[in-house]
């Protein structure tokens, strides 16, 4: 199946052209023209979503599950075409796109099963106690209800799993919330073909077409207008700290502030404790190099920092990591802008006093190769710039002198998506010393692993204290993410005919 983009927005079931277009910038293959979003498109999509909410927000869990499964079916029906245009636009290898497509359809089917089970509703019932003294108790029922239309921003680094029909969209639709997607200009054709799949599922299931709209990129004002539209009730975002914070501030400044669920990335530090370093430091170093360079380092869980204790084992660790990274071939980055930011980040790190370059390479246009730097704990603690994320395959090895250095590094961390402990049995006491700190710093704590790779499950937390995310009580991956788009409603003494069926 070959896919030729029409270059239009999908708004309430209609493919609409724009007044102006922008050209895609694929890593390889043909460029296509896409409509630039307009403020009128935002209003039309939000109005249609609000209209759809009056039916979709009160639909049965069974019908929504059927819809989610239908979207997954339609995506799979376009599998080859999705892979073809996705690889062209992003430069990602076919295997990565195929795996990400499986994750995307898996998320949709997981949410379908999740809402059918009904546990997410958190139903509670306090029966009436009319004879209670000194005051009677009314009959009270509580259930989680959908909040209304949700805006979702496509992510640059995951054209499928975190974009048009990715985790945010799946969670919102499962909750009963219509979705307006702001497509990412890095992969507009991939966004369009996924929107086509969602549109086909809408028609198959007989759902109000306003339940889903896609507005293509090319105009930053569209994103600002979307989060400020009075009919939008929450926002899901995966992207840069600067872009996310700007949108977060707009959400907070609205006459009616709304929640902004931004996943903004982190440096994901790894603490390699003495026993593990002595016993298997070289294996850990090789694993770090592989995780650090995976996907050209373009993962929000990229482990950019490794902390080790000074000594012969630390020197061997550095040599092994350096050798492994030196053998890593150049990889195509997602966009020219991301590659430029990677180069800028590398220059920033290299320019910090007290930082030693272990591996320097050349990042040519969109082709990225790894960098490895080394510094002391003292220098790390004195330079906040070293704790800022560099989006790409760049690692910093921080050498600590003692347990106090390790603890102070942990205390200095900003909010993280992940923190990792590499430890053996002999390291238990040292790990116990760090755990209370790491719990306050990260949404996910790993032992003897690498954070690249986020399981989509009931227990996963993909979020963390700011700046890893803008809401430390939420996750953007896993079934718990549905709670972002629900709110509790209590029904007091209402007749059964007025209480939602789910309650």
Active site residue 404: no
Structure-token pair, residue 332: 């195509």
Contact 1, 85 (CB under 8 A): no
**What is the spatial distance between Cα 237 and Cα 479, in angstroms, rounded to a whole number?**
17
Whole-number Cα distances in Å, 207 to 93, 175, 204, 269:
35, 15, 8, 45
The b-or-e profile of 95-115 (16+ CB within 10 A means b, else e) is ebbbebbbbbbebbbbbbebb
**What is the spatial distance between Cα 405 and Cα 268, in angstroms, rounded to a whole number?**
18
**What is the spatial distance between Cα 282 and Cα 346, in angstroms, rounded to a whole number?**
25
Whole-number Cα distances in Å, 480 to 84, 252, 483:
32, 24, 6
Contact 118, 61 (CB under 8 A): yes
**What is the spatial distance between Cα 420 and Cα 150, in angstroms, rounded to a whole number?**
33
DSSP H or E stretch at residue 403: helix 403-412
Strand 270-272 relative to strand 305-309, pairing: parallel
Active site residue 282: no
Question: What is the rounded (10 degree) CA torsion for 74, 75, 80, 85?
Answer: 130
**What is the spatial distance between Cα 468 and Cα 267, in angstroms, rounded to a whole number?**
9
Contact 262, 247 (CB under 8 A): yes
Sign (positive or negative) of CA dihedral 474, 202, 161, 266: negative
Find residue 331's DSSP bridge partners. Answer: 368
DSSP H or E stretch at residue 277: helix 274-293
CB atoms within 10 A of CB 255: 6
Enter the DSSP assignment of 330: P
Number of H-type helices and E-type strands within the chain: 14, 21
Number of residues in the chain? 503
From the candidates 263, 363, 389, 419, give the one annotated as an active-site residue: 263
**What is the spatial distance between Cα 53 and Cα 144, in angstroms, rounded to a whole number?**
16
From the candidates 251, 300, 363, 419, give the one annotated as an active-site residue: 300
> Among all residues, which ones are annotated catalytic?
263, 300
């Amino acid at each position: 199946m070959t896919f030729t983009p029409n270059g239009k927005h999908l708004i309430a079931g209609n493919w609409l052209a724009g007044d102006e277009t922008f050209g895609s910038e694929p890593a390889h293959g043909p460029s296509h023209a896409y409509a630039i979003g307009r403020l009128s498109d935002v209003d039309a999509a939000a109005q249609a979503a609000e209209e759809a909410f009056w039916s979709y927000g009160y639909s049965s869990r069974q019908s929504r599950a059927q819809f989610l499964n239908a979207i997954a079916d339609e995506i799979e029906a376009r599998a080859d075409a999705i892979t073809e245009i996705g690889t062209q636009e992003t430069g990602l290898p076919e295997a990565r796109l195929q795996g990400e497509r499986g994750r995307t359809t898996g998320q949709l089917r997981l949410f379908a099963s999740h809402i059918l089970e009904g546990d997410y509703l958190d139903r509670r019932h306090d029966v009436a106690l009319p004879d209670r003294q000194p005051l009677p108790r009314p009959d009270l029922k509580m259930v989680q209800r959908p909040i209304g239309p949700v805006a979702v921003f496509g992510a640059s680094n995951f054209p499928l799993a975190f974009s048009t029909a990715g985790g945010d969209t799946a969670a919102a639709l499962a909750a009963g919330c219509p979705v307006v997607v702001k497509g990412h200009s890095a992969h507009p054709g991939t966004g369009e073909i996924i929107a086509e799949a969602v549109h086909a599922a809408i028609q198959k299931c007989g759902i109000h077409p306003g339940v889903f709209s896609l507005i293509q990129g090319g105009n930053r004002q569209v994103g600002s207008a979307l989060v400020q539209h009075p009919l939008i009730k929450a926002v899901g975002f995966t992207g840069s700290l600067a872009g996310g914070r700007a949108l977060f501030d707009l959400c907070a400044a609205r006459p009616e502030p709304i929640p902004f669920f931004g996943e903004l990335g982190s440096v994901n530090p790894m603490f390699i404790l003495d026993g593990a370093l002595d016993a298997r430091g070289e294996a850990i170093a090789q694993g770090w190099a592989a995780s650090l360079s995976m996907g050209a380092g373009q993962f929000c869980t990229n482990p950019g920092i490794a902390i080790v204790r000074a000594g012969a084992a630390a020197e061997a660790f550095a040599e092994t990591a350096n050798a492994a990274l030196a053998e890593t071939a150049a990889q195509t980055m997602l966009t020219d802008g991301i590659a430029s930011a990677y180069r800028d980040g590398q220059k920033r790190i290299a320019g910090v006093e007290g930082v030693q370059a272990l591996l320097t390479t050349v990042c040519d246009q969109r082709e990225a190769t790894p960098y490895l730097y080394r510094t002391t704990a003292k220098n790390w603690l004195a330079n906040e710039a070293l704790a800022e994320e560099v989006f790409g395959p760049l690692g910093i090895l921080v050498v600590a002198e003692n347990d106090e250095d390790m603890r102070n590094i942990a205390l200095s961390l900003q909010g993280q998506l992940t923190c990792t402990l590499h430890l053996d049995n002999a390291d238990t006491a040292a790990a116990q010393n760090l755990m209370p700190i790491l719990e306050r710093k990260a949404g996910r704590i790993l032992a003897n692993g690498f954070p690249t790779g986020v399981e989509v499950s009931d227990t996963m937390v993909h979020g963390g204290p700011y700046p890893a995310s803008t809401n430390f009580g939420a996750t953007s991956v896993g079934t718990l993410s549905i709670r972002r788009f629900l709110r509790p409603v209590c029904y007091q003494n209402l007749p059964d005919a007025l209480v939602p069926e789910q309650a």
